[in-house]
Chain A
Amino acid sequence: NAGVTQTPKFQVLKTGQSMTLQCAQDMNHEYMSWYRQDPGMGLRLIHYSVGAGITDQGEVPNGYNVSRSTTEDFPLRLLSAAPSQTSVYFCASSLDFPKGVAGNTIYFGEGSWLTVV
Chain B
Amino acid sequence: GQNIDQPTEMTATEGAIVQINCTYQTSGFNGLFWYQQHAGEAPTFLSYNVLDGLEEKGRFSSFLSRSKGYSYLLLKELQMKDSASYLCAVRDHGNSGYSTLTFGKGTMLLVSP
Contact = CB atoms under 8 A, between A and B. Distances in A.
Interface stretch (B12-20, B65-73, B92-100): B92-100
A21 to B, nearest CB: 14
A42 B105 contact: yes
Prevailing SS type, chain B contact patch = strand
Contacts, number: 58
Given A56-B98, A102-B50, A41 B42 contact: no
A59 B104 CA distance: 13
A110 B42 contact: yes
A20 to B, nearest CB: 20
A40 B43 contact: no
Given A1-B42, A100-B31, A108-B42, A41 B48 contact: no
Given A43-B89, A48-B100, A102-B50, 5 more contacts: A44-B103, A56-B98, A98-B98, A110-B41, A111-B41
